[in-house]
Structure 1
């Protein structure tokens, strides 16, 4: 570990950093771990491998890899999104170009992944309520499972991202007016607001009040693996209405509820950029993150998904960025991790359609134990990574290079 007494300091008096906004490879590499956490949870509950999912071994594994494992990855993405958006939006940047770049970055890959899911799951397209809100990324504004989880399940987070991007230029003048010395206080205030918001949802909105981890696979009778996991079954999309618990939807899926996480990331970027966050030691942020993750086992569902993890996750993001600025290289800044981080967004989007496809044509109709699940999960990981790389290099990069209005550089 580099001694802070000899490392170059990042301060507000560093005009070269303020102007150039150098690349942050550790943050790029760390994106893979967040995407991989989401993949692990999805592979566990969205691959209907029977009789494994009905075994005691599955229940023990799922106890240590519950819903909040994937939710932690999403929280990281939301904080990181705010951090990177502020970092890359230099004074004088064009707001219309910013909006265009965000649309160009999100929608093409999203539409391709959605089309892949529609084909893999044989979605009944005559029910417009199922797929139109999803394609437009407005589906999580409504508390119904056919829209919240409609089509490609991971795309729910993109509806929140679109709100983040829409609101950023609107609130940016206010963000810039915060005195540098008050940035930490504002960040702590936002974290307390998130806790208060989730407490209000818990106290005053209908929904689960217990501390058990309620997110589990939907099982069907028998020990033969079905050809469709419930959330990708055509019968699921044919149902007239599938209500969800209001407090769960408000806490996890509702875009305005997640907006503070984005702006916590924005404030963190300002702290790093202006020298108010100088810590480069990962030990304490990771320890706090581990403790907050452990605490999710003993709090109600409303607090499991982001509220407890947000503060430590922000510290991790800020510390990784500070390490990059001081030239401290670690695992996350290696070429392999940066490459994985670059393809992580496309990987995140394509993983569920891959699982649906492999379930339908490979797993369904057979019986497997733990080894079978592990093998199919590994295959899904390899295929999803390969397709994610294909989307990144053949769709994302070419589109951004040609139509975004500025030259795109490969970072891995």
Structure 2
């Protein structure tokens, strides 16, 4: 009998287009954050800002997060190696997530002068448990984008136990499994709309928290001393349960897992990227017409799953595109660090350059461009000098003792042939 703690899948194949596509999701999040988290006054109080934010609302960043969650499930299932133990899997995932997360958090702590004596301010974020707490002062308590990592931690914790169940799904039941997950997502959000407290209208309500005056503040509100001094800031139940609560996002991850099986077993036949991209654009446009409970992921998750599966199928078929180019692959590789470091960079720019001055649209555009460039540079440094050395030295799977002895004998010329 095989060890049930071992995860077995097929031989791994490289999927360069999926790597490159990660950048577009991270950049969508950045654009939304640059619009609302760079406190450039009086631009953010102008009619032009309101018009821009109407076209680039909260669901832009939320769409990027949904793509990441589906992609995460796909890649984790696709790259699982035969014979990998749960312990090895958890170790590798922890080494991939926590060093970059903690480095970005430390930059934020220094930039925002976080009161480290108050453990409640930073410890839940450091441990990646803060999204489980239904208060905005905790969910957004430190480096705001890190809330999504709480969901990733849950995904990874559940995967070794769930993978054998996923592998037992018959080939002819994989598409019904996708349909069941989509129905579950729809039912979850419908239930939140009907029974959880929160806004029921269709307006895009997410906007920056504006302070008095036309002079840019020295702190974005989530990085200000007043924010850290507050004991509790309530969050709307429907928003927390539908967007940041990790358990609610779990089906999105497993859509990616099942999609990986569809592609692996050649059941995903579509190689044209146009139709799933058009469907994504259409469902994204529909988010202007539905309540907030459906804006954040429920509408876009199906076509985004199709985009992920199609990109992978194109990679397997040898169809190259812009996402598979070397520059895009590099941007995709640093996208995790870019996603985490962008907000600390914005906090630094706000505190030392933006605060105390007045800027219009061009001023905001210059600072947003500077934030993008500096975030790319910082992300590249984190990826090349922190993430990669750690993954190469510490995260490589350890061979069983007999295999290690055999490799050692081979390297010293003491193989199976008699001397």
Q: What's 2:259 paired with?
A: 268
Moved beyond 4 Å, runs of 4+ = none
Aligned mate of 2:297, from 298, 306, 314: 306
Cα separation, 2, equivalents of 1:83 and 1:194: 17
Taking structure 1 as the reference length, the TM-score comes to 0.94
Alpha-carbon separation, structure 2, partners of 1:379 and 1:20: 42
SS at match of 2:391: helix
Quote the Cα distance in structure 2 between the aligned partners of 1:237 and 1:202: 31
Give the aligned partner of residue 20 of structure 1. 11
CA shift, 1:130, in A, is 1.4
Residues 88 and 397 of structure 2 are in contact (CA less than 8 Å); yes or no, is this contact kept in structure 1?
no
**Pairs within 5 Å for 1:204-353:** 204-353=195-344
Q: Distance in 1 between matches of 2:222 and 2:201?
A: 24
TM-score, normalization: structure 2?
0.92
Aligned to 1:378: 369
Q: Which runs of 5+ in 2 are unaligned?
A: 1-8, 399-419
Cα offset, 1:54, TM superposition = 0.6
How big is the shift at 1:268?
Answer: 0.3
Match of 1:367 in 2: 358
Partner of 1:49: 40
1:142-221 aligned within 5 A: 142-221=133-212
Measured after TM superposition, the shift of residue 120 of structure 1 is: 0.5
Say if 2:52 is the partner of 1:95. Answer: no
**Secondary structure of the structure 2 residue equivalent to 1:368:** coil
Q: C-alpha displacement at 1:19, in angstroms?
A: 4.1
- C-alpha RMSD of the superposition: 1.0
8 Å CA contact 2:32–2:60 kept in 1: the answer is yes
For the residues of structure 2 that align with 1:108 and 1:90, how far apart are their CA atoms?
23
**Greater Rg over alpha carbons, structure:** 2
Using the TM superposition, give the Cα deviation of residue 132 of structure 1 relative to its aligned residue in structure 2, in angstroms. 0.6
The separation in 2 between residues aligned to 1:95 and 1:276, in whole angstroms, is 28
CA contact (8 A) 2:15 2:315 kept: yes
2:150 aligned counterpart, secondary structure: helix
Q: CA deviation at 1:245?
A: 0.4
CA distance in 1, matches of 2:105, 2:119: 14
Equivalent residue in structure 2 for 1:33, among 24, 30, 52 = 24
Partner of 2:410: none
- Aligned counterpart, 1:138: 129
Deviations 1:199-218 (A, max 9, x none): 00110111111111111011
Distance 2:119 2:328 in 1: 40
Q: CA offset at residue 405 of structure 1?
A: 2.3
Q: Aligned-pair distance for 1:181?
A: 1.1
Count residues with an aligned counterpart: 390
Deviation at 1:406, TM superposition (A): 4.0
Q: Following TM superposition, by how much is the alpha carbon of 1:305 offset from its aligned partner in structure 2, in angstroms?
A: 0.5
Q: How far apart in 2 are the matches of 1:405 and 1:28? A: 20
Contact 1:79–1:261, Cα closer than 8 Å, also in 2: yes
- Uncovered stretches (5+) of structure 1, i.e. residues with no partner: 1-17, 408-412
1:90 CA displacement: 2.9
1:382-397 matches, within 5 Å, as 382-397=373-388
Alignment pair present for 1:60 and 2:60: no
Q: Which residue of 2 aligns with 1:116?
A: 107
